[in-house]
Amino acid sequence: MAASAPCYLGWDFSTQQLKVIAIDEQLRVIYEDNVQFDKDLLEFGTHCGVHVQSDKRTVTSPVLMWIKALDMILEKMKSSGFDFSRVRALSGAGQQHGSVYWKEGASQILKNLSPDLPLHQLLKACFSVSDSPVWMDSSTTTQCLSLEKAVGGAQDLANITGSRACERFTGNQIAKIYSQNPEAYAQTERISVVSSFAASLFLGAYAPIDYCDASLAGMKLEEGDIAISLGTSDTLFLWIQEPTPALEGHIFCNPVDSQAYMALLCFKNGSLMRERIRDDCASGSWDEFSKALKCTVIGNNGNIGFYFEVIEITPEAVGIHRFNRDNKKVPDFPKEVEIRALIEGQFMAKRIHAEKLGYKIMPRTRILATGGASHNKEILQVLSDVFSAPVYTIDTANSACLGCAYRAIHGLVAGTSVSLVDVVKLAPEPRLVVIPNAGADQVYQPLLKRYADLEQKVLCTPVSSHLPK
């Protein structure tokens, strides 16, 4: 990096790691790093970045773990010779729905931080709740039902807010703490979501809550496209003009076009489930996992599987359910069949539920894939076949970080006529990775219908009978 060259930082406080990207004025990535919570912060005892309580529904993350991760990554940047004086702006994202509870008096500590000590030491007494509820939590059913009843029902709430009441949503988590931990609630002077919490650490003051989404910005999503993030959770983003709130999925403001909307579907059993099947069926090797996808036929000879290690969001189901070509439930599959059943099932669910929101796959539809699994070409081939659409990626799987860096540049011209689209003109276009195999659509059309029918059968299975022991 030239001595006087400005740069811009993008941060992502995600479930399993803290990530940072630096870009220059030509939007080229010049620095990239991360801190992995389970590996680099063993003292917090997390698994996949979280603590799962004994009821299997309560899922939290330590607030100080996120802060110490920031201390660590800043030290790594300093040790590498990164020149912070060149940073003109920074922006960040955080896992959705996580909430942070600042204790009375925390704002004064935040405003008077000493440069002589790390942040995690300075802020260790600043939180009334030490473990934050996160997006994987599903323990607020009572609060959800109460909220929906108060406004006239689930659909009425979706019409007002874009979503029905969901267990992981911050409002319901706050209501639970207010009800079950009134002492902690009484000691709380401010509540942040993870993204505004992260911004507060840099500001030295409480940051307001923003409503944009960096995945969408980093992927340069356009109308008609589908963005799929294949991370700890899998999320599917749709650019829409005419929102139709429903009982599944969510409608948000569009961060790129103030006149449009973004629809989102979230699937809790994403990479964690893929990693479990990789370990069980491919000796922990992604190469072996990919070989299994390549050596099995499209459609898996009619074998269909549902793989929910934790209670899923879309649909609300749990457990592993396998069906043969005759729709008979079976106890297991051969390893190669298991791997393809997992990946085909995950992508068929995404297509089915996107179409329930009114989305139609068009000839010009592009799928923009990001997240860790977007590096795996064989997984993306199944995605392309199921959706009958070409799949594109960008050079970094950390699209949320990249989107934040773009937003950092855009923030400097906020209030002018310069749009984010103008800002990202220099950014590389998404790269075509795979196209659908010939005949895939004919295989998946009947299979999609079978999957949807079998999903209803799985939903009739009591959740409690399939909770992991």
DSSP character string of 378-439: HHHHHHHHHHTS-EEE-S-S-HHHHHHHHHHHHHHTTTSS--HHHHGGGSPPPEEEE-PPTT
Rounded to two decimals, the pTM is 0.81
Of 94-103, 205-214, 305-314, where does mean pLDDT reach its minimum?
205-214
Is 465 a residue whose pLDDT tops 60? no
Is residue 409 situated within a structural domain?
no
Inside any domain, residue 376: yes
**pLDDT-wise least confident of 126-140, 236-250, 259-273:** 236-250
235 and 111 together in one domain: no
Residue 414 in domain: no
Do 458 and 350 share a structural domain?
Answer: yes
Q: Is residue 316 part of a domain?
A: yes
pLDDT at 375: 92
- The pLDDT of residue 252 is above 90: no
Same domain, 165 and 63: yes
CA distances (Å), origin 91, targets 88, 212, 231: 11, 12, 21
Domain finish residue from 178, 203, 228? 203
**Residues 411-439, mean pLDDT to the nearest whole number:** 87
Which CATH number fits the domain that encloses residue 168?
Answer: 3.30.420.40
pLDDT band, residue 214 (cuts 50/70/90): low
For all residues of the chain together, what is the average pLDDT?
92
DSSP 320-360: EEEE-TTS-EES---HHHHHHHHHHHHHHHHHHHHHHTT--
Sheet holding 51-52, edge to edge: 51-52, 59-62, 131-133
C-alpha R_g of the chain: 22
Q: What's the number of domains the chain is made of?
A: 2
Candidates 260, 254, 265; CA nearest to 356 is: 265
In a domain, 467, yes or no: yes
Would residue 419 count as lying in a domain?
Answer: no
- Where is pLDDT greater, at 428 or 434? 434
Same structural domain, 330 and 240: yes
Beta bridge pairs of residue 369: 228, 393
Percent of the chain with pLDDT over 70: 96
Whether 105 and 194 map to the same domain: the answer is yes
Query: Contact, 436 vs 418, CB < 8 A?
Result: no
User: What is the pLDDT at residue 400?
Assistant: 84
Of 203, 219, 242, the residue that ends a domain is 203
- The answer to whether 102 and 128 have CB atoms below 8 angstroms apart is yes
Q: Please check whether residues 74 and 162 belong to one and the same domain.
A: yes
- Which range, of 151-160, 203-212, 367-376, 446-455, averages the lowest pLDDT? 203-212
**95 and 244 share a domain?**
no
Task: Judge whether residue 136 has pLDDT over 60.
Answer: yes
Query: Residue 246: its pLDDT value, please?
Result: 86
Q: Are residues 197 and 219 in the same domain?
A: no
Q: Give one DSSP letter per residue of 185-247, joined into a string.
A: HHTEEEEEEHHHHHHHHHHTSPPPPP---HHHHHTT--TT-EEEEESSSEEEEEEESS----S
Residue-wise pLDDT for 312-367, tens only, equals: 988 989 999 999 999 999 999 999 999 999 999 999 999 999 888 777 888 889 99
Cα–Cα distance measured from residue 29 to residue 403, given in angstroms and rounded to the nearest whole number: 12
- pLDDT band at 387; cut points 50, 70, 90: very high
Tell me: do 31 and 71 sit in the same domain: yes
Is the pLDDT higher at 114 or at 211? 114
Residue 300 and residue 340 in contact, taking contact as beta carbons nearer than 8 Å: yes
Residue 469 — pLDDT band, cuts 50, 70, 90?
very low
> Do residue 150 and residue 198 come from a single domain?
yes
Contact 369, 393 (CB under 8 A): yes
Which of 168, 203, 238 finishes a domain? Answer: 203
Task: Give the model confidence (pLDDT) of 431-462 as tens digits.
Answer: 999 999 999 999 999 999 999 999 999 998 76
In a domain, 399, yes or no: no
DSSP letter, residue 363: T
Q: Give the Å distances, CA to CA, from 54 to 58, 65, 139, 322.
A: 8, 21, 12, 27
Same domain assignment for residues 199 and 92: yes
Q: Give pLDDT, residue 468.
A: 41
166 & 249 share domain? no
Task: For residues 32-59, give the mean pLDDT.
Answer: 96
In total, the chain counts a number of residues equal to: 469
Banded pLDDT at 78 (limits 50, 70, 90)? very high
Tell me the residue range of the domain where 437 lies: 211-394+430-469
As a whole number, mean pLDDT of residues 286-296 equals 98
The answer to whether position 164 is within a domain reads yes
Question: CA 218, CA 418: separation in Å to the nearest integer?
Answer: 17
How much is the pLDDT for 21? 97
Pairwise CA distance, residues 172 & 158, whole Å: 15
